Structure 1
């Protein structure tokens, strides 16, 4: 049985790991250690290391809608988060065409979000500053949720890490986990690749898309599939960026495409929420193949390249919203690696039959916006206070009732021969 002085070891200093440490320390736990594989935090190739992530309450599941509104309220506290959060508003497209969008709209309205509907292309175009050319199909509709926008992901994670250090958390950098140390059929610590062992009363695994490859013996199966999601950027001049600066985030649930307004470096980022790409590594021996991240850390510049077809798809989706920007070259690309669950619910709770091992992972591309509050759910699981419905929702061994067709059933294998070249980043 854990008490406030129990030794807790958290693997991973990203969104789940840092937020979990914060909430455990807030509740009076006095011996919390966070270990991360990277010497530099946040890890340069982690999903939590980026310059923007959408912050939205528009979910078809009312649980996430409500939790997002709690997170947004926390993000607004500039004494805690400085200017990490930017409330640009989120323009959600696809009402009347997507059941997900329609339910998200109903949830936003029922929870009191500030909403402005756009039943036609003309009203959609009116949501943008004068001088910004936009193009929407004649059947397009949506709504602007003013209670949302985007957060500077790397800055938010850095701030959270600074908070836990100030609260007394021990941070171990450059510590890549090798195996779990088990005694009497219970996890009792972790051995790292440098040969050191850290013992703990409870190990919480929050290693994101590296989880399945670190612990292949746990046989995750389809519970967590590592996928690379396609992201591209455009560098604007200061004058161009100033015209687009006050645009909302645009999010099309029907196609999965989303695009941000320019950040402080005048960069416009866009991505597609889709099945993504798997990168199966035959060297891992397990019951099912294991997909592993292919990043700038493991493959250098090649780890940032997208498949050509996704470069083309991103440009065509961009053209349907910002035709002017679609004529500009992509300045950079990135495959952002996530740990996806079939139902897009997270994995939070004990590993079956092991009171010394918990997981906080399976972000499925939508965890970061909850950084200020997501660790509270994990802390509830640690202390036995997690609501039974949520315990079942996030259980490691739950039976997924439905599969999200936009992601886990449409994953494609990543082929090196299909990766883009510099010429592919130029407008056609």
Structure 2
């Protein structure tokens, strides 16, 4: 159970805000103070007014504050999205504010590149070590044949290496290397030299420890500062931080660093539409300044820069990955509870659960796209 069984839901106030919320929930399979795992149990009388005024930001913050609970937030989120409530999740003022900011400012400029690292990835290696598996992959696993999180992440890393056709002695660039997952795997099992870059100091420190003794260099560096030439380039779970104003620069950078016969693999969460937006709660508490690309964004930005060789979608696998991370958080939180408060625990539970529901509802996708500079011959992508 995710809630405190001692808490008793309040009697629902007879207010306009409550009636509006009930009308929105009609037909979704989610009820207020019901007994089903996906039902919302309300503990604060101002809950309804808060979410009507603040949308998803208010919903997430109210959960962090203990104003409501739900046994299975993932099921709740999936049902609400399938019911179409995602269209009403943000208030008009929230959508307008983000569009104005994104239109007039480069929210992912060089000067702002390290914000997400400091706000999220630097939160604490001890937390992420308990949430993730031994590979320290913080991206979608590949569950085609896997029966565990560790197997799914190992298979994802191997799939990327096979798609890149890694050969011993190659120089590989890992843009957004995280805690060194791909760098370690590629160097250890494929005999390549890897340069990994990240904008997180905590990630860089742990990645260097994990890759000690291997031909791996980890740098604290923004992708726009890169120089040199690499036989293969890979970017797993980083493109979500690039931002639409920088997509062209990103692909130009990859082209500049890639030789004529090189290959580039892009692994990214994708949006079903090309609207420039961000969930206000995720933007504030999890990934500041993040924005998800659409298929159109990727195709347009890479046009005249790189040739698309292969496109694979295994977004449904992110549901399994996120639920495995959630199970790890629940199982191991007591080990770090003295270093993180209850609000942080609820923040992570809400984040992982809601995202799992979004992938289950197929509102979000996970793409692996392979590019070249137009190398001769046929490219056959492994699956």
TM-score of Structure 1 vs Structure 2, range by shorter chain: under 0.3
TM-score w.r.t. structure 1 length?
0.24
**TM-score normalised per structure 2:** 0.26
Return the structure number with greater helix share: 2
Which structure carries more strand by proportion? 1
> Taking CA–CA contacts closer than 8 Å with sequence separation of 6 or more, which of the two structures ends up with the larger relative contact order?
1
